[in-house]
Amino acid sequence: MNMPRKIAEVGETDAFVLATEWKMRRSGQGGHFGCSVLELSSPPDATALRAGLDELLRRHPMLVAASGRPWPFTTPWYVRPRNAAESLPLVRWRLPGPLPDDAAADGKEISSLETLVDWLLNEASATFLRPARHNMRVDLLDGGAGGCWLIVTWSHAILDGVGAELLLRELANLCHDSKADSVAPSFVAPARSPWSKPYDRWQATWPMLEHLQGLLQQGIHSLAGPKPKASRMRARWERLDEVATAAIQERATRFCGPLIQTHFHLACAIIAHDAVWRRHRGGSAPVYTVALPVQLRARGKAPPIFRNNVSVMFFTAKPDELSDIGALTASLVRQQQDAMKKGLMASFSEMQRWMRLLPAPLYSFFLDSQMKGQNTAFHHSHTGPFAKELGAIAGAAIRDGWHVPGLFAPPGTGLFMSQRDGRATLVMSWRECALAEAEAATLLNAFRQALRGEMETRE
């Protein structure tokens, strides 16, 4: 079979994302893209940015890669397609109104940052494939005296949020010095199975399969329901001040200690979703089953830029557990410890290695038939400090930054958090088929209130 030039082997989770993207395109939900937004103190040096992007593409062919495999049911690869882009798009925009002398006058006018991100997550998706394939673009929005935003839109098919932050650092370094060492390897080969015999590898999947069967008996309930529908991506974000951020941190510390606060944030996201079910859907869902991504990279080694590098851990909570956030948080910690004791992450990885051999349509069919169309109640992550090593890009100081993840429906909703300079940013992404406007308002308000302890819960 005539196959384009191979770049890197598709990893286990990459294959899951590629299958999800296949479903998204098939159901009219576009591609699987995320935006990383940097708020800058002034417009960056566009010439340095262009040079940085050119060097970035020269070093990292994954930025134009598509996926393929030499034969059905063999190892999939990222390959260089025939229509690979020769350069990465850098597009300039400006907000309405007069611009200062040093601002770009040639940008296209757009009403707001929110409108631009909305356009990038929805309409821009088709431009990544044709006429020339690329997996990343940069948009610069000049806000005049209000500052400037640099938005990197990236394909989830080649990297995750951790990789996106490495990519931002790499771009910033190359804008400054085109000969700088790369911040991380472009890619590494996926981890091999620790079991060599096929029978042992098959047996290794059973703990997770049995665990999933148990979860499915309780059901997985997302606000979008089990059937994918064509609908727009939406996103809203909110930056908290230092006082509110510190109060949330203090509260999280009270419930789960100062260092590992994931379970508290997840508890808040569960409570927020329950608020939507109760206020708008006639009552709580029977159970909230959440698949939480867990970074799998080898500790002590530089992670690659390009790889969806996660395993998944499933957490459940019943509505009667939600009134006591301390007990709920403790229950989520216990669930993670139990899952680790049972070796579920290794089992899940092995399952993904088998699934990786399936072409995306078959992967999706198998997954949907096993999981009855839904594999999580919603998406959630707290990515910690956002690009903390990054202070400036192309000569412009970075005032703030956050990710706006795109997602598929079902589940159709996601609550995300990150932090920069002592201030947290809450991001809510959703599909219009999953949430009405009033429900979206409830979800974000309830998340904020749960984080800050403003809901009626026992403590």
Partner 1 sequence: MSAENIQSRPDAGAIRALLERHVLELPADFPEDGDLFGAGMDSMAIMQLLLHLEEEFGVKIPMGEVTGENFSTTAAIARLVAAKSDEHAEEDRGGR
Task: Say whether residue 192 binds partner 1 (CB under 8 A).
Answer: no
Task: Say whether residue 260 binds partner 1 (CB under 8 A).
Answer: yes
Q: Which of 340, 361, 389, 397 binds partner 1 (CB under 8 A)?
A: 340
Task: Say whether residue 333 binds partner 1 (CB under 8 A).
Answer: yes
Task: Say whether residue 331 binds partner 1 (CB under 8 A).
Answer: no
Task: Say whether residue 391 binds partner 1 (CB under 8 A).
Answer: no
Q: Which of 47, 83, 203, 337 binds partner 1 (CB under 8 A)?
A: 337
Provide the mask over 281-310, with x wherever binding to partner 1 is found by CB under 8 A and - wherever it is not. -------------xx--xxxx---------
CA gap 287, 377 in Å, rounded:
9
Task: Say whether residue 388 binds partner 1 (CB under 8 A).
Answer: no
Residue 258 Cβ vs partner 1, minimum distance, rounded to whole Å = 5
Nearer to partner 1, 231 or 261 (CB): 261
Task: Say whether residue 257 binds partner 1 (CB under 8 A).
Answer: yes
Task: Say whether residue 108 binds partner 1 (CB under 8 A).
Answer: no
Nearer to partner 1, 291 or 394 (CB): 291
Amino acid at 262: T
Task: Say whether residue 332 binds partner 1 (CB under 8 A).
Answer: no
Residue 340 Cβ vs partner 1, minimum distance, rounded to whole Å = 6
Q: Which of 197, 341, 456, 458 binds partner 1 (CB under 8 A)?
A: 341
Task: Say whether residue 262 binds partner 1 (CB under 8 A).
Answer: yes
Nearer to partner 1, 171 or 339 (CB): 339
Give the interface with partner 1 as residue ranges (CB under 8 A): 256-260, 262, 294-295, 298-301, 333, 336-337, 340-341
